[in-house]
Amino acid sequence: MIEIEEAQSQIIQAVSSVSETENIALAESLGRILAKNITSEINVPPADNSAMDGFAVTASDVTQSPCSFSVSQRIPAGSAPSALTPSTAARIFTGAEIPENADAVVIQENCEFSDDQTVTLNISPSKGDNIRRQGQDIKTGDLVLSSGQKLSPQHLGLLASIGITHITVFRKVRVSILSTGSELITPGTPLQPGQIYNSNQIMLAQLLGSLGCEVSICPAVVDSLEQTIQRFKDASATSDLIVSSGGVSVGDEDHVKAAAESLGNLNLWKINIKPGKPLAFGHIANSKFLGLPGNPVSAFVTFILFGIPLIKTLQGQNHQKPMSFFLPSNFAIDKPRRRPEFIRARIENNAVEKFPNQSSGVLSSTCWANALAFIPDNKTITKGELIEVFPLDLLQS
């Protein structure tokens, strides 16, 4: 038996990121992984500007309250101001550049003005009031984003704010998926006796797709060593990674281990975890290989725990431990478990519920759940006790 963290770290250490990069338009780069550090060539904002609609003045000119000024210019956002005439005020709007010599903005709610000629300030401003300073967000020369960053919409906004149009990202990781099992058929044909629909294929394909991989689906194989070897051979020619489901145990009808070993090298792990004890990891020719268990819930959970760190490392992402929280349990576990367990759980009203049927064949549990809750081995849980939960949205992103 090998522990969860040990398996994860062995996987990460055995893998390095794809080396090829590509230069793409910012608008095409959502979800991609930055392959170079980005420093800014400009200040953001480029100049001091007004945070509010009001009047720009030199604070030291306001010697009493109230205090009247003639209005010497009008500065809407987008225009270039002239230097402020001494002892006057400038009408100014949010986002407009602060004119030279001005050092405070009095918001219009604190002013009386009936025409564009004069204004009476009802307060004495302090230097810097309502001014957004040049470079308050980013300064010229700042490191804005580092290589390995996965790009979210807000990262793209940040890059646009420094004027970037194209960036260098790692190429997409190519992954082939292979389902094994003579009982599997693709939805679209009625089930014959003994058959079940292949649910892992679409689930894994979409998990991989949503992580930003280029996914190829191999036709499912029956439980035959020759066919499994042939599919692995074909897939390895075009893939960085092959992910299989099923056939990974050591029964008479399980051929994944022998097939992978005949073409590469494999570790077959009995991981100290429920669901999903058997897991295979190694390589087939030049592709990395991850062999998941066939039970759909086990395939899902082991993909999340081991497949995602593997994919992120291949993609060039910096690895971070998934975020977890401790919340009170709404259920009790009286009988300690022999293996640590990730149960399908739902966070509701800041407490954790558990799906009644935790069988690894019950895929409904993963749809009802919005989190996995970690139950350590050899431990009872009392109702109300804090337990560790991993929200699925965070695990899957």
- Establish if 246 lies at the interface with Mg ion (CB under 5 A): yes
Residue with tokens 């794809």: 18
Compute the least distance from the CB of residue 256 to Mg ion, in Å.
Answer: 9
Nearest residue (CB) to ligand AMP, 291 versus 309: 291
Q: Candidates 128-136, 190-198, 289-297, 356-364 — which segment interacts with Mg ion by CB under 5 A?
A: 289-297
Residue choice 130, 147, 200, 313 for contact with ligand AMP (CB under 6 A): 200
- Establish if 291 lies at the interface with ligand AMP (CB under 6 A): no
- Establish if 149 lies at the interface with ligand AMP (CB under 6 A): no
Nearest residue (CB) to ligand AMP, 84 versus 220: 220
Q: Candidates 62-70, 108-116, 192-200, 231-239 — which segment interacts with ligand AMP by CB under 6 A?
A: 192-200
Q: HSE on the CB side for 32, CA within 13 Å?
A: 22
Residue choice 99, 246, 309, 316 for contact with ligand AMP (CB under 6 A): 246
Compute the least distance from the CB of residue 247 to Mg ion, in Å.
Answer: 5
CB 275 within 8 A of CB 297: yes
Work out what residue 58 binds among ligand AMP, Mg ion, none; the CB cut-off runs from 5 to 8 Å by kind. none
| Other residues' Cβ atoms within 10 Å of the Cβ of residue 118 | 14
Residue choice 199, 358, 366, 370 for contact with ligand AMP (CB under 6 A): 199
Distance in angstroms (rounded) separating the CA atoms of residues 135 and 154: 18
Give the sign of the dihedral formed by CA 145, CA 146, CA 149, CA 151. positive
Q: Candidates 27-35, 167-175, 194-202, 206-214 — which segment interacts with ligand AMP by CB under 6 A?
A: 194-202
- Establish if 293 lies at the interface with ligand AMP (CB under 6 A): yes
Give the sign of the dihedral formed by CA 261, CA 210, CA 361, CA 353. positive
Compute the least distance from the CB of residue 278 to Mg ion, in Å.
Answer: 11
- Establish if 205 lies at the interface with ligand AMP (CB under 6 A): no
Residue choice 15, 89, 167, 184 for contact with ligand AMP (CB under 6 A): 184
Q: Binding pattern to Mg ion, positions 309-348, x when CB under 5 A?
A: ----------------------------------------
Q: In the structure encoding, which two tokens stand for residue 256, read together?
A: 């994944």
Chain residues that interact with ligand AMP, rule: CB under 6 A: 179, 181, 183-184, 196, 198-201, 245-249, 293-296
